[in-house]
Amino acid sequence: MADSNFIDYVKIFCASGNGGAGSMHLRREKYIPKGGPDGGDGGRGGHIILRANPQFWTLIHLKYKKHIKAEHGAAGSGQLRKGKNGADIYLDVPLGTVAKDAETGEKLFELVEPGEEKILVAGGRGGLGNNNFKSATNQTPRYAQPGEPGTEGWFILELKVLADVGLVGFPNAGKSTLLSTVSAARPKIADYAFTTMEPNLGIVKYYDDMSFVMADIPGIIEGAHLGKGLGLRFLRHIERNSTLLFMIPADTEDAGKEYGILLNELKEYNPELLVKSRVLAISKSDTADAKRKAEIEKSLPADIPHIFISSLTGENIQELKDLLWKTLHE
């Protein structure tokens, strides 16, 4: 994975800017030898802000940028001049990025809308100048506030792929082949497990100018929710898909049992995934005759629509698109 351009997990150190100190200044001019306080406030320290950018699809640009520090706010000065705020730092990230506290694992927020901005680390507030503290009983305060220090810490950014349809299945279920058949995506395809090591997205054209996004995600294995295989790295990408397309090859021994294993892995990882709409496709159906298809059909669950497909011959590919489109818009 070292040569992969798809990075969906980074750990970064962020430090916001310190607030500038307020000014302790007394007005002194030629004909005003004892003027009142006129110290200005300090500027705010710079924030570090995450911004959802739909043009980004990976976190690779942050992989080698481990330490990010924002600018400090400037101190206030006389004549009520406020210090300059520290410059904010914007980090563009893909849609579907989740920010977490690295020490506690607490989820801070997620970005799912284009252009959405969230402050990851807030800058320190600027101190108040002595002008803020004058009163009837203290007309010449000779003190001002220091600026607040910024905050710092380690944070984890995780990417969860956003797609309309996510493909769920064991390795070699034909997910990548299907994606290459219905879209212009060209994922790596080979006859061995874990050919797909990173999510691939493809735009599936429907009728006229209608389309939907399909995600080919690394294959699941039994025990994935415990981290086996590609485990948790695979499962988190499922969370951002509207509809799940389960794919089971026609040459599997027990299609119903395989579907049950896949469903259980999703349940053990996050029970909320079971709320998502589901469609079941029996792939590689060109290898099965009518008798075999009838046997498979008997083992399939009754509560999920299913269809036999073949990416090689094109069998029921258009019908699958129809079914997915209908499911997405119910």
Task: Let me know: does 303 contact 326? Beta carbons within 8 Å.
Answer: no
Q: What is the pTM of this model?
A: 0.68
Superfamily of domain 1-159: GTP1/OBG domain (2.70.210.12)
CATH class of the domain at 163-328: alpha beta
Q: Quick one: which of 76, 88, 85, 66 has its CA closest to 16?
A: 88
- Domain range list for the chain: 1-159, 163-328
Based on the number of CB atoms within 10 Å of its own CB, is 28 exposed (0-12), middle (13-18) or buried (19 or more)? exposed
pLDDT in 10s for each residue of the chain, 330 residues: 334 556 778 999 999 999 999 999 998 877 777 778 999 999 999 999 999 998 887 888 898 888 999 999 999 999 999 999 999 999 999 888 999 999 999 999 999 899 999 999 999 999 999 999 999 889 889 999 999 999 999 999 988 777 889 888 888 788 888 988 888 656 444 444 444 446 777 888 898 888 888 888 766 655 544 444 444 556 777 777 889 999 999 999 899 999 998 888 888 888 888 899 999 999 999 988 999 999 999 999 888 999 999 988 999 999 999 999 999 988
Structure tokens at 156: 């984890």
The answer to whether the CB of 234 falls within 8 A of the CB of 220 is yes
